[in-house]
């Protein structure tokens, strides 16, 4: 791997306290180093902005559900055909064509993320039963390092252990499940709610202490058990939580109650925007962003990503089957549901967020409020819950909304105002994100929340994932962030002068925390009785890349 | 994993996945003695036939003459890169890993790409793209389905263990009494009968199938309007209470049926989907679609993640276009729009209507029995093993659940490796001559 010096760029590396200083970045053997010999290749970055490669903490790019979504929205891809990029093929990397739209094909996903300067992506929802599919899809998603979170919040075996008050065994089971799936973190989606949907229980959510069906297990117990498991196992990323009641008027109370249920313990709450609605007169939604962010601001153990809604086409896809059913019924759009045995669910509904639709406008506003009222960008980071709130391709536009209040105000005037009474954004927020803050919410912050010590920064020893942007002469931040001039991934120059030059395979980020081997005994019996896949065939086995480190157990 | 007793010369490979049909049962113990399979325990008759004795020819031929693998791959590369309208066809018995190489070859060649899906389950694939689908993995059916409706299909014929492993007999979480926990409804449609062991049997004329589904959809949507009393409406009224009595209703239908019943109403797939989706307004309901073996569901999945489309793809413009009506392998071959073809997989399991016109087209065949199958007289024939018998990797069950493949007999070339070699040659040739 070649040595390289990126010279004279204006560097934003907030993890190392570098805020717009002009300095060189040196690379050797895929890592950032202090210096390289004079004959190393050079990238002239004078006048340009240098940041670490972007890190996406919550996206949907590689799973059985994503692939069903690709199949479902075939009609949108004929408008977004993607010829193979023009780079030389190597032994194991042939330039590949594909299709885009809201759920791009795998090669196109890798190319497009890299083309935005993102070099690490996590898929946020994988059923362990189909983990092999996620690994195969990531194998065909070039350039980016990838990993995924393992769905556990409605897992039948886990619910049984919790119901029997066997929380230590539940923790060991979670550890086993992570290793079996080759996943990176524990994911909870609508704790208990998917199980209720599969049982045919349509009653509205009745609070964290309402038991789920016959097991007597409550959403609170699921949250506590899995959050504690994540922390006790020393996982690099804490439990990643999609709360109950997504999208429902007044759900901000549920979200805050869920946060309080694990107060004082590290936990990550995802796509906060979809969980931050108040209930105004007549039961209609209003912004609950102020209330939500006040809690987050004052609880340093709590982190989140926003799940911003962007106007345009989206594809909603989630393990949260009951929510997708409601969306199908309310929009009349086509609908996929898959009840996944013993583990979770899956729902998919195409959707369009429209400026003139009152709810879409409210959602757009709520997301921006969360960003703009957040006191700590390290703990409230950027996502659109791709492709749920919008495509990752909309990140540059989102960055512009955060950095340019004039642009934001102009856009705000064009959206439906019906539900915006009393919203902080409508009342006027003057804050503009700085480049340092953008570097935090798009790379340094997500990397820190994910426990990726070698990513999201440019200190000596870090992975040589570097993005170089050319500021737009007209001051359009969206333009600057949508077409980086150079992208380096693991020391390889993958984007040069805005063109894709190489597409090496990415690494798989996963953990394999040890577990009490005793857990496997009862499990095999459970598989034999209730499963359809042999216990011996369930685990994905050893992966090519070594597992990421976990902390010593606490 | 290692059931005994066995002799020293005998090996037993446990938890093997069978691709004899789309059930992909992964509890097979394969017994191997002296390099041949002597038993496949737990396998059904279809499975036993699929495993066979594991003995296959292992020849490499160019123009009917024995050749080295290197020479054969070179000949295949030349045949394909000199073509102007190449077709890459994914036949059964390939691992997902081999299918991935096949798509890569088609992409580099700017070829047409298709699989057995386009002559098998295409109507249900297209209907699901139009409407979505309320579905479930097979274990959900096993654990929850208390009302099972077999819609013109008796799985015991083409999917022999479906009833014992997944749908009728097994006991599960909410079906602890097995068969007794479930109401089985057989719907006989024209000549397609449901299973013999049914609690309720309804008979439809083939012409009434879609009308009955539409009436059922209206009934379960329960808008309270007065409905007609005759024909399909009467049948629907008979069926509706049984459906609404279920807590988790599962409709089972054969997605591959249109090959064998070309006179089926083309609207049946969409009507089945609409009906089963609508029932979710009243209770829970899933549609379980039966799919053929040989990892055809894997082809759908691989093509979708690599290109965005499940079958019938055209790379001629340098990017994938979906042409499910005029761009299938059959449509192209019928109008002589193919001047060279690469067949990956078991040519012996390809539909006859595709094999016939292929006899007139220069062909490279890489797969089990390439050298003595129906395309044995092709230009290049490279024998490989069968995915799941001689070759490992991944396959996908009819419900999109992935499973590992465990080879039990070794000594055969892996189709994925051979295809990878060809992909590299084709990519190098394309690089040498920029397009």
- B362-411 residue pLDDT tens: 999 999 999 999 999 999 999 999 999 999 999 999 999 999 999 999 99
Residue A305 vs residues A145, A301, B7: alpha-carbon distances, Å:
20, 14, 60
Q: Is the pLDDT assigned to residue B223 strictly greater than 70?
A: no
Give the residue ranges of DSSP H helices in A339-444: 358-373, 395-403, 405-413, 424-427, 435-439
What residues in A contact B283, CB-CB < 8 Å? 200
State whether B142 and A341 contact (CB < 8 Å).
Answer: yes
- d(CA B426, CA A174) in angstroms, rounded, equals 45
**Which residue in the set A74, A96, A107 is minimally distant from B309, CB to CB?**
A74
From the list A94, A197, A200, the residue facing B247 with the nearest CB is A200
CB contact under 8 A, B306 and A72: no
Interface predicted TM-score (ipTM) over 0.85: yes
Q: Do A199 and B174 touch (CB under 8 A)?
A: yes
Using a CB-CB distance cutoff of 8 angstroms, which residues of chain B are in contact with residue A349? Answer: 132
Q: Give the model's pLDDT for residue A498.
A: 87
Q: Within a domain: residue A525?
A: no
Written as six digits, the tokens of B338 are 């193919």
Give residue for tokens 């002589």: B336
Query: Is there a contact between A94 and B104 if contact means CB atoms under 8 Å apart?
Result: yes
CA distance B69 to A375: 65
Do the domain assignments include residue A511? no
Q: What are phi and psi of A384, to 5 degrees?
A: -115, 10
Q: Residues of A with CB below 8 A from B310's CB?
A: 71
Tell me how far apart the alpha carbons of residues B269 and B121 are, in angstroms, rounded to a whole number.
10
User: CA-CA distances (angstroms) from residue A338 to A319, A329, B140?
Assistant: 9, 16, 9
Q: Do A101 and B319 lie within an 8 Å CB cutoff?
A: no
Query: Nearest-CA residue of chain A relative to B167?
Result: A532
**Tokens standing for residue B201:** 């049997």
Residue A89 with chain B: CB contacts under 8 Å: 427-428, 430-431
Q: Within 13 Å of residue B430, how many CA atoms lie on the same side as its CB? A: 28
Q: For residue A85, is it within any domain?
A: yes
- Mutation test of the interface with chain B: which of A335, A337, A349, choosing the one with the most B Cβ atoms within 10 A? A337
What is the distance in angstroms between the Cα of B430 and the nearest Cα belonging to chain A?
10
B405 at interface of A, judged by CB pairs closer than 8 A: no
- End-to-end Cα separation, chain A, in angstroms: 39
- Substitution target in A69, A71, A93 with the highest count of B β-carbons within 10 Å is A71
pLDDT at B433: 59
Answer whether residue A199 is part of any domain. yes
All residues of chain B having their beta carbon less than 8 Å from the beta carbon of residue A138 are none
SS3 string of chain B? Answer: CCCCCCCCCEEEEEEECCCCCCCCCCCEEEEEECCEEEEEECCCHHHHHHHCCCCCCCCEEECCEECCHHHHHHHHHHHHHCCCCEEEEECCCCCHHHHHHHHHHHHHHCCEEEEHHHHCCHHHHHHHHHHEEEEECHHHHHHHCCEEEEECCCHHHHCCCHHHHHHCCCCCCCCCCHHHHCEEEEEEECCECCCCCCCEEEEECHHHHHHHHHHHHHHHHCCCCCCCCCHHHHHHHHHHHHHHCCCEEEEEEECCHHHHCCCCCCCHHHHHHHHHHHHHHCCEEEEEEECCCCCHHHHHHHHHHHHCCCCCEECCCCCCEECCCCCCHHHHHHCCCCCEEEEECCHHHCCHHHHHHHCCCCEEEEECCCCCCCCCCCCEEEECCCECCCECEEEECCCCCEEEECCCCCCCCCHHHHHHHHHHHHHHHHHHCCC
Q: Is the peptide bond before A387 cis (omega within 30 degrees of 0)?
A: yes
Residues of B with Cβ-Cβ distance to A336 under 8 angstroms:
128, 132-135
Which pLDDT score is estimated for B228?
Answer: 77
**Token pair in block for residue A8:** 């004279």
**Residue B97: what pLDDT?**
98
Neighbouring-strand partners of residue B10: B33
pLDDT one-digit tens code per residue, B282-308: 999 999 999 999 999 999 999 999 999
Q: Is the peptide bond before B5 cis (omega within 30 degrees of 0)?
A: yes
How far is it, in rounded angstroms, from Cα A230 to Cα A241?
12
- Shortest distance, CA B14 to any CA of chain A (angstroms): 9
Which of A72, A106, A133 minimises the CB distance to B402? Answer: A133
- CB contact at 8 A, B413 and B384: yes
Distance CA A4, CA A489 (A): 12
Tell me which chain A residues have a C-beta less than 8 angstroms from the C-beta of B301: 64, 67, 133
The CA distance from B389 to the nearest CA of chain A, in Å, is: 16
Residue pointed to by tokens 């996908």: B396
Helices B231-244 and B209-221, axial angle in degrees (round to 10): 50
Residue A18 lies in a domain: no
* Confidence grade of residue B4 (pLDDT, cut at 50, 70, 90): very low
Q: Are B423 and A94 in contact (CB < 8 Å)? A: yes
A vs B, Cβ pairs < 8 A, gives: 198
CB contact under 8 A, A106 and B305: yes
Question: Sign (positive/negative) of CA torsion B93, B99, B105, B110?
Answer: positive
Chain A residues with CB-CB distance to B172 below 8 A: 529-530
What's the rounded mean pLDDT across residues B110-123?
Answer: 96
Q: Are A140 and A333 in contact (CB under 8 A)?
A: no
- B165 CB burial (10 A radius; 0-12, 13-18, 19+): buried
Out of A197, A199, A533, name the one closest to residue B26 (CB).
A533
For B153, residues 6+ apart whose C-beta sits below 8 A from its C-beta are B192, B194, B252, B253, B254, B257, B290
Residue A244 lies in a domain: yes
- What angle (nearest 5°) sits at the alpha carbon of residue B298, between those of residues B300 and A199? 90
Q: Does any domain span residue A474?
A: no
Residue in chain B lying closest to A102 (CA): B308
Closest CA to B191 of B178, B179, B209: B209
Query: Which pLDDT belongs to residue B364?
Result: 98
How distant is the Cα of B374 from the closest Cα of chain A, in angstroms? 32
Q: Which residues of A touch B26 (CB under 8 A)?
A: 533-534, 537
- Which ranges in chain B are annotated with CATH 3.40.228.10? 122-290
pLDDT at residue B8, rounded to an integer: 57
Contact B279, B220 (CB under 8 A): yes
> Burial letters for A237-248: b for 16+ Cβ neighbours within 10 Å, e otherwise?
bbbbbbbbbbbb
| Token couple for A212 | 């789920």
The mean pLDDT of chain B is 94
pLDDT number for residue B386: 98
The phi and psi torsions of B279 (rounded to 5 degrees) equal -60, -20
Q: At B258, is the pLDDT very low, low, confident or very high (cuts 50, 70, 90)?
A: low
Contacting residues for A428 by C-beta, under 8 A, at least 6 apart = none
Contact status of B402 with chain A (Cβ, < 8 Å): yes
Question: What is the pLDDT, as a whole number, of residue B434?
Answer: 52
Quick one: average pLDDT of B171-176?
Answer: 96
In chain A, how many H helices and how many E strands?
20, 24
Q: Collapsing DSSP states into helix, strand and coil, what is residue A466?
A: strand
In the Cβ-directed half-sphere of A467, how many Cα atoms lie within 13 Å?
A: 32
Whose tokens are 């693991």? That residue is A490
Say how many domains are in chain A. 1
pLDDT at B230 over 90: no
Helix (H) or strand (E) holding A206: none
Domain holding A409: CATH number?
3.20.20
- All residues at 6 or more sequence positions from A412 whose CB lies less than 8 Å from its CB, including other chains: A365, A425, A426
Domain range B122-290, its CATH number among 3.40.50.620, 3.40.1010.10, 3.40.50.300, 3.40.228.10: 3.40.228.10
Q: Give the model's pLDDT for residue B7.
A: 53
Average pLDDT over residues B22-33: 98
Check CB contact under 8 Å for B137 and A105.
no
DSSP states along A297-362: HT-TTEEEE-----SEEEEEEES-HHHHHHHHHHH---EEEEEETTTEEEEEEEEEE-TTSHHHHH
Phi and psi dihedrals of A495, rounded to 5?
-125, 130
Measured distance CA(B76)–CA(B363) in Å, rounded: 8
Instruction: Name chain B contacts of A68, Cβ cutoff 8 Å.
Output: 400
Residue B1: the pLDDT is 42
* pLDDT value at residue B225: 64
Residues of chain A below pLDDT 50: none
- pTM more than 0.95: yes
- What's the CA gap between B29 and B27, in Å, rounded? 7
Residue in chain B nearest A197 by alpha carbon: B284
B404–chain A Cβ distance below 8 A for any pair: yes
Portions of chain B given CATH number 3.40.50.740 = 60-119+294-388+411-432
For residue A494, tell me if it sits in a domain: no
For B30-85, what is each residue's pLDDT tens digit?
A: 999 999 999 999 999 999 999 999 999 999 999 999 999 999 999 999 999 999 99
Higher pLDDT, B361 or B190: B361
Confidence of residue B430 (pLDDT cuts 50, 70, 90): confident
pLDDT band at B261 (very low <50, low <70, confident <90, very high): low
Chain A hits for B314, CB-CB cut-off 8 Å, are none
Which of 321-340 (B) contact A at CB < 8 A?
Answer: 321-322
Instruction: Search chain A and give the residue with CA nearest B435.
Output: A86
Fold adopted by B60-119+294-388+411-432: Rossmann fold (3.40.50)
Domain that holds residue A108: 58-455
> Does the distance separating the beta carbons of A77 and B104 come in below 8 Å?
no
């Amino acid at each position: 791997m070649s040595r390289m010096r990126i010279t004279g760029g204006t560097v934003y590396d907030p993890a190392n306290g570098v805020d717009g200083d002009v300095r060189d970045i040196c690379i050797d053997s895929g890592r950032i180093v202090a210096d390289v010999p004079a004959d190393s290749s050079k990238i002239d970055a004078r006048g340009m902005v240098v940041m670490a490669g972007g890190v996406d903490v919550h996206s949907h790019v590689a799973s059985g559900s994503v692939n069903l979504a690709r199949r479902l929205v075939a009609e949108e891809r004929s408008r977004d055909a993607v010829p193979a990029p023009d780079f030389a093929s190597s032994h194991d990397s042939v330039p590949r064509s594909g299709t885009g739209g809201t759920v791009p094909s795998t090669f196109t996903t890798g190319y497009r993320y890299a083309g935005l300067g993102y070099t690490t992506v996590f898929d946020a929802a994988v059923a362990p039963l189909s983990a092999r599919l996620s690994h195969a899809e990531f194998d065909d998603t070039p350039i980016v390092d990838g990993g995924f979170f393992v769905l556990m919040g409605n897992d039948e075996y886990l619910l049984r252990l919790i119901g029997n008050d066997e929380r230590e065994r539940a923790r060991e089971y979670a550890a086993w499940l992570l290793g079996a799936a080759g996943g990176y973190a524990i994911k909870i989606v609508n704790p208990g709610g998917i199980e209720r949907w599969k049982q045919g229980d349509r009653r509205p959510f009745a609070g964290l202490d309402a038991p789920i069906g016959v097991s007597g297990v409550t959403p609170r117990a699921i949250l506590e058990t899995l959050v504690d498991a994540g922390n006790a196992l020393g996982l690099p990323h804490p439990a990643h939580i999609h709360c109950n009641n997504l999208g429902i008027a007044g759900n901000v109370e549920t979200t805050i109650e869920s946060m309080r249920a694990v107060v004082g313990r590290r936990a990550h709450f995802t796509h906060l925007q979809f969980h931050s609605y108040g209930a105004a007169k007549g039961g209609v939604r209003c912004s609950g962003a102020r209330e939500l962010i006040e809690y987050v601001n004052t609880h340093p153990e709590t982190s989140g990503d926003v799940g911003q809604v962007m106007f345009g086409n989206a594809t909603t896809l989630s393990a949260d089957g009951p929510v997708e059913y409601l969306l199908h019924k309310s929009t009349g759009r086509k609908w996929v549901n898959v009840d996944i045995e013993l583990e979770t669910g899956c729902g998919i509904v195409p959707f369009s967020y429209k400026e003139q639709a009152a709810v879409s406008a409210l959602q757009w506003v709520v997301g921006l409020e969360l960003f703009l009222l957040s006191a700590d960008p390290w703990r409230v980071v950027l996502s659109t819950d791709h492709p749920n709130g919008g495509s990752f391709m909309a990140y540059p536009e989102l960055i512009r909304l955060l950095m340019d209040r004039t642009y934001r105000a102009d856009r705000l005037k064009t959206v439906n105002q019906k539900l915006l009474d009393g919203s902080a954004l409508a009342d006027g927020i003057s804050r503009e994100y700085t480049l340092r803050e953008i570097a935090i919410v798009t790379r340094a912050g997500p990397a820190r929340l994910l426990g990726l010590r070698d990513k999201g920064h440019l200190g000596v020893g870090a992975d040589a994932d570097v993005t170089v942007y050319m500021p737009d002469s007209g001051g359009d931040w969206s333009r600057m962030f949508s077409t980086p001039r150079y992208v380096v991934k693991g020391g390889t120059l993958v984007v040069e002068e805005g063109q894709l030059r190489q597409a090496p395979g990415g690494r798989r980020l996963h953990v394999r925390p040890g577990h009490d081997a005793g857990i496997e005994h009862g499990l095999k019996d459970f598989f034999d009785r209730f499963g359809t896949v042999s216990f011996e065939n369930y685990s994905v086995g050893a992966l090519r890349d070594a597992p990421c480190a976990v902390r010593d157990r606490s | 994993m290692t059931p005994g007793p066995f002799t020293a010369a005998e090996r037993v490979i446990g938890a093997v996945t069978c691709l004899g049909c789309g059930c992909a049962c992964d509890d097979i113990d394969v017994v191997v003695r002296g390099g041949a399979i002597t038993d496949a325990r737990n396998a059904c008759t279809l499975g036993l036939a699929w495993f066979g004795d594991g003995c296959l020819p292992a020849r490499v031929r160019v123009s009917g003459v024995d050749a080295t693998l290197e020479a054969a791959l070179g000949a295949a590369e030349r045949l394909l890169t000199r073509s102007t309208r190449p077709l890459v066809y994914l036949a059964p018995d390939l691992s997902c890993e081999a299918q991935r190489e096949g798509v890569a070859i088609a992409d580099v060649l700017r070829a047409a790409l298709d699989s057995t899906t386009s002559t098998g389950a295409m109507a249900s694939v297209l209907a699901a793209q139009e409407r979505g689908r309320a579905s479930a993995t097979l274990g959900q059916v096993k654990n929850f389905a208390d009302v099972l409706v077999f819609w013109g299909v008796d799985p015991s014929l083409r999917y022999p263990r479906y009833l014992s492993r997944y749908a009728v007999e097994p006991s599960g979480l909410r079906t602890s009494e097995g068969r007794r926990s479930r109401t089985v409804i057989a719907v006989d449609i024209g000549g397609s009968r449901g299973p013999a062991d049914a609690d309720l049997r309804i008979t439809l004329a083939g012409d009434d199938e879609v009308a009955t589904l539409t009436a059922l959809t209206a009934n379960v949507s329960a808008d309270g309007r007065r409905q007609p009393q005759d024909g399909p409406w009467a049948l629907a009224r008979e069926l509706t209470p049984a459906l609404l009595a279920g807590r988790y209703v599962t409709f089972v239908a054969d997605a591959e049926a249109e090959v064998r019943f070309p006179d089926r109403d083309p609207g049946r797939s969409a009507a089945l989907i609409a009906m089963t989706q609508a029932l979710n307004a009243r209770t829970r309901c899933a549609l379980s679609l039966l799919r053929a073996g040989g990892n055809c569901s894997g082809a759908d999945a691989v093509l979708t993640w690599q290109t965005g489309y499940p079958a019938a793809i055209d790379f001629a413009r340098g990017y994938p276009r979906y042409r499910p009506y005029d761009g299938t392998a059959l449509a192209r071959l019928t109008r002589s729009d193919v001047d060279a073809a690469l067949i990956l997989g078991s040519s012996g399991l390809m539909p006859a209507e595709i094999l016939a016109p292929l006899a007139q087209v220069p062909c490279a065949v890489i797969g089990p029995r390439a050298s003595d199958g129906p395309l044995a007289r092709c230009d290049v024939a490279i024998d490989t093993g069968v995915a799941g018998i001689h070759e490992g990797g991944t396959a996908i069950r009819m419900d999109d659940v992935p499973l590992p493949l465990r080879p039990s007999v070794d000594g055969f070339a892996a189709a994925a490796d051979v295809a990878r070699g060809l992909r590299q040659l084709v990519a190098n040739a394309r690089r040498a001559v920029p397009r």
